[in-house]
A and B are shown apart, each in its own frame.
Chain A
Amino acid sequence: MTQPPRPAPTRRRALATFGAAGAAVLLGDVARMAHSQGAGPLKLGFQVHRTGIGAAYGRWYERVATAAVARINDAGGIAGRQVRMIAEDDGTDPRRGAEVLDRFANLHGADLVFGPLFSNVVIGSAPRAAELKMPYFVVSEGHHVASGTLNRYTLQPGITDVKSQVRSVAPYVAANIGRKVTMIFPDFAFGHDHREFFTDAIAAQGGEVIAQIPVPPAETSFTRYFPRIPRETEVLYHVMVGPAVLTFVREMGEFFGGRGPALFGFIDSLEAVDIASPGLEFLEGSHLWEGMPRFAQPDQTGHDARYRAAVGVDDTGASIDDPRDVSTYAHMFGVWETLSVIKAGMETAGYRGPSDRPALIEAVEAMTDMPLSDDHPQGDKLFNGRTHQVFGRQSVSRVEGGRLIRVHETSVEDTLYEDEVDYTTRPF
């Protein structure tokens, strides 16, 4: 099966090819520079988990981002300029995440980057964002922004962090569900936030965490972890992420066979999962935290209704086109609201091009109240410019008849805690 060797390229042809390629690159750069200051569309880089363990979130984050950008453009763009979203897949991988930032800065000439959820990707990419002096708007829930671990270029104005979530729901858990808690959580930064902050928060309510069970984030089989749950457990606090969440919840039901402790979970364990899936009947009566209620509630606002319609989600939280395609409703509003903040920030800062990036960050840092509106359909919020973190209401829902019914909503004040950092004192 040998084939005749192809003729080697001649020196002249090779030089010509290199020359042409070089010229194309140079021309591209010139064109980009010409467009970078004040003309042409704004380019927003969207770092998205299209593949890897965050893919279910990535799919919905992308749908929401697309809908939000279309809405901004329909309303005349940002300060009169149209917005172009450029999506790049980070594979839910921190190393790839940092490479994606390089591509946005050097290949696409993006004005800023937004969108990642998984905390390992955020923590892996944020240092590169600072080096590139690229505003980096994350939608990740991790406490790493407000803790001071990251940098002045990284902001989280669209979604609340785990610390404020768990502190604000802990009183409800202690008063209504139980006080002896066993925690089961994914063994990486996001899960560690849950472990640290809930343990403290429940202790402050007179409760106690009696066991902590970490599970590797890529795990596919969970029965082996459940025997470590102590018998005296009153509440099992569960939070899981990744493609195997359905297996996790189903095996939990099989393990207890209807006789276990009360369950309090973070909806992450069931994001993108149909709560009426076979094997999940045991969840009836259990409680879940939600960032934004998946099922339209009786007191649904017009903002929620318009947001649902814009992102293509029905009243049960599933895609309008395919009822089996359940959304990550409790998280994805963060992308929508982040884009609202970006628009407001750019317009306040009079953003024209990359040299105005510090002005954009200062404009966002100066924000405080974000009232309930079509820009912020999840609810009113309070932004803390020093810690680069937003604060908002949290919901506790109960599973009733295969639907999630909200039984408690915290106030914004319930979620506040003392500043741990002041990013505004750090240089650009």
Chain B
Amino acid sequence: MEFGPHLMLALLEGAVTSAVLALTAMGLSLVFGVMRVVNVAHGAFFMLGAVAAWWIAQLVGAHPALGFAAALLAAPLLVGAGAMLADRLILARVGYDPERTIVATIGLMYVIEQTVLMGFGPDARPVAPPFDARIALPWVERTAEGLALYWPWGLSITAYKLFVIAAAAAILAGLWALMTRTGAGLVMRATQQDRDMARAFGVPVSRVFARVFGLGAALAAMGAVLVVPIQQAHYLMGGDPLLLSFIVVIIGGLGSLPGTVVAALLIGMTDGIVSVFLSPTLAKIVATLAVALVLVFRPQGLMGRARA
């Protein structure tokens, strides 16, 4: 493939990766920012979202678009509700102690994975995309008669992938509005800045925690519902999103929401370009190396504030 179309394809693939990653990492970042909980079960919530999407699409049957729409609405709600329950039953009981919550969420991850394995089984299952038109993209080449358009092999995107990018952007815009324009967001931000002071002002911190944990898991689930028509639901699919989300959150700055979006774009695009031109394994190496460098030279992350 020539360089131009190749780069274009890399950027398109990178944009899809970034979009899903931004949603997933945002959930992790939000939970850490507000609750100071490192949620190792985040990838499991992602996987749960994908599996729930498959289940709901199966139940609805009918047209794929109908099943998908139902999944996009219901799966994040289900997963979010499950996460709130986990917060009440587990995290609240260990007092949100940083070390104990890490161990607790590792346990939670295994419980979720094994439960899904027992109920859903070890197979990968597809969800039909709501629409699936392939859009071939043209490129210019210099011919004897000057510049001409042509359609290279493989330079294409599906309408669904474009929808993923748009949907992720819309959900992130909605999240931004929630955090900055509503009372619920105000309470969350207050809790993030100083939970004792927030409590003194009458903020029901424990209820805020449950909601934030649910919202974080629901964001992961939304990312998963968007990705499941492209990939497939599988009980081990949470590993990669978890690793990449951690990378994004560390590079962006723990708890910084704008930083998370910037880092997701950065990592997603690098992943797209490096993996298309060189190799996908190298892309993971580059991302992990970036984390190491950030931790050494700018431990607070690109957009995080250094803590006094």
Task: Note whether A and B form a binding pair.
Answer: yes
What are some 27 contacts across the A-B interface (CB < 8 A)? A50-B122, A52-B236, A55-B121, A56-B124, A59-B122, A59-B123, A220-B231, A220-B237, A227-B1, A227-B6, A227-B10, A227-B154, A228-B1, A229-B153, A229-B154, A243-B236, A244-B124, A244-B232, A246-B126, A247-B124, A247-B230, A247-B231, A254-B156, A255-B154, A260-B153, A278-B132, A279-B132
User: What is the distance, in angstroms, from B139's C-beta to the closest C-beta of chain A?
Assistant: 13
Are B272 and A257 within 8 A (Cβ)?
A: no
Are A257 and B134 within 8 A (Cβ)?
A: yes
Judged by a CB distance under 8 angstroms, whether A205 is at the interface is no
A227 to B240 Cα, complex, angstroms: 23
Closest to A221 in B: B231
Are B124 and A246 within 8 A (Cβ)?
A: yes
A29 to B272 Cα, complex, angstroms: 58
A190 to B172 Cα, complex, angstroms: 43
Contact partners of A220 in chain B: CB under 8 A: 231-232, 237, 240
Are B234 and A243 within 8 A (Cβ)?
A: yes
A52 to B153 Cα, complex, angstroms: 34
A55 to B125 Cα, complex, angstroms: 12
Contact partners of A228 in chain B: CB under 8 A: 1
Are B232 and A256 within 8 A (Cβ)?
A: no
Judged by a CB distance under 8 angstroms, whether B280 is at the interface is yes
A50 to B275 Cα, complex, angstroms: 31
A227 to B9 Cα, complex, angstroms: 9
Task: Mark B89-129 against chain A: 1 for CB-CB distance below 8 A, else 0.
Answer: 00001000000000000000000000001000111101010
**Contact residues of B with A, CB < 8 Å?**
1, 6, 9-10, 13, 93, 117, 121-124, 126, 128, 132, 134, 136, 153-154, 156, 158, 230-232, 234, 236-237, 240, 272, 275-276, 280-281
Closest to B114 in A: A51
User: What is the distance, in angstroms, from B141's C-beta to the closest C-beta of chain A?
Assistant: 13
Closest to B14 in A: A224
Task: Mark A154-165 against chain B: 1 for CB-CB distance below 8 A, else 0.
Answer: 000000000000
Assuming the contacts A52-B122, A254-B134, A254-B158, asked whether A219 and B13 have C-beta atoms less than 8 A apart, the reply is no
**Contact residues of A with B, CB < 8 Å?**
1, 50-52, 55-56, 58-59, 216, 219-221, 223-229, 231, 243-244, 246-247, 254-257, 259-260, 272, 277-279
Are A224 and B280 within 8 A (Cβ)?
A: yes
Are A226 and B232 within 8 A (Cβ)?
A: no
Contact partners of A255 in chain B: CB under 8 A: 153-154, 156
A216 to B236 Cα, complex, angstroms: 16
Closest to A227 in B: B1
Are A231 and B1 within 8 A (Cβ)?
A: yes
User: What is the distance, in angstroms, from A330's C-beta to the closest C-beta of chain B?
Assistant: 18
Query: Other than the known A221-B231, A247-B231, A259-B153, what 4 A-B pairs have Cβ atoms closer than 8 Å?
Result: A220-B232, A221-B230, A224-B272, A255-B154
A259 to B13 Cα, complex, angstroms: 21
User: What is the distance, in angstroms, from B92's C-beta to the closest C-beta of chain A?
Assistant: 10
Contact partners of B275 in chain A: CB under 8 A: 224
Assuming the contacts A224-B272, A224-B275, A224-B280, asked whether A51 and B124 have C-beta atoms less than 8 A apart, the reply is no
Closest to A279 in B: B132
Candidates A50, A59, A277; contact of B126 at CB < 8 Å: A277
Assuming the contacts A227-B154, A231-B153, A255-B154, asked whether A244 and B231 have C-beta atoms less than 8 A apart, the reply is yes
User: What is the distance, in angstroms, from A193's C-beta to the closest C-beta of chain B?
Assistant: 21
A228 to B117 Cα, complex, angstroms: 36
A420 to B302 Cα, complex, angstroms: 58
Candidates A55, A221, A225, A277; contact of B123 at CB < 8 Å: A55
User: What is the distance, in angstroms, from B17's C-beta to the closest C-beta of chain A?
Assistant: 8
Contact partners of B134 in chain A: CB under 8 A: 254, 257
Contact partners of B231 in chain A: CB under 8 A: 220-221, 244, 247
User: What is the distance, in angstroms, from B125's C-beta to the closest C-beta of chain A?
Assistant: 9
Most interface-central of B122, B126, B158 (chain A CB within 10 A): B122
Closest to B152 in A: A231
Contact partners of B240 in chain A: CB under 8 A: 220
Closest to A58 in B: B122
Contact partners of B128 in chain A: CB under 8 A: 278
User: What is the distance, in angstroms, from B104's C-beta to the closest C-beta of chain A?
Assistant: 14
A2 to B117 Cα, complex, angstroms: 33
A244 to B117 Cα, complex, angstroms: 17
Contact partners of A219 in chain B: CB under 8 A: 280
Assuming the contacts A224-B272, A227-B276, asked whether A243 and B136 have C-beta atoms less than 8 A apart, the reply is no
A279 to B160 Cα, complex, angstroms: 13
Contact partners of A229 in chain B: CB under 8 A: 1, 153-154
Contact partners of A243 in chain B: CB under 8 A: 122-124, 232, 234, 236
A254 to B135 Cα, complex, angstroms: 9
Closest to A223 in B: B13
Assuming the contacts A219-B280, A256-B154, asked whether A247 and B232 have C-beta atoms less than 8 A apart, the reply is yes
Contact partners of A1 in chain B: CB under 8 A: 93
User: What is the distance, in angstroms, from A160's C-beta to the closest C-beta of chain B?
Assistant: 26
A255 to B137 Cα, complex, angstroms: 11
Contact partners of B10 in chain A: CB under 8 A: 224, 227
Are B13 and A224 within 8 A (Cβ)?
A: yes
A277 to B124 Cα, complex, angstroms: 14
A228 to B134 Cα, complex, angstroms: 20
Are B9 and A56 within 8 A (Cβ)?
A: no
Contact partners of A259 in chain B: CB under 8 A: 153
A405 to B268 Cα, complex, angstroms: 43
A51 to B1 Cα, complex, angstroms: 38
A254 to B276 Cα, complex, angstroms: 16
A228 to B280 Cα, complex, angstroms: 13
Are A224 and B124 within 8 A (Cβ)?
A: no
Assuming the contacts A51-B117, A216-B281, A279-B132, asked whether A256 and B230 have C-beta atoms less than 8 A apart, the reply is no
Contact partners of B126 in chain A: CB under 8 A: 246-247, 277
Candidates A55, A231, A244; contact of B122 at CB < 8 Å: A55
Are B156 and A224 within 8 A (Cβ)?
A: no
A228 to B275 Cα, complex, angstroms: 11
Contact partners of B153 in chain A: CB under 8 A: 229, 231, 255-256, 259-260
User: What is the distance, in angstroms, from B155's C-beta to the closest C-beta of chain A?
Assistant: 9
A55 to B118 Cα, complex, angstroms: 13
User: What is the distance, in angstroms, from B109's C-beta to the closest C-beta of chain A?
Assistant: 16
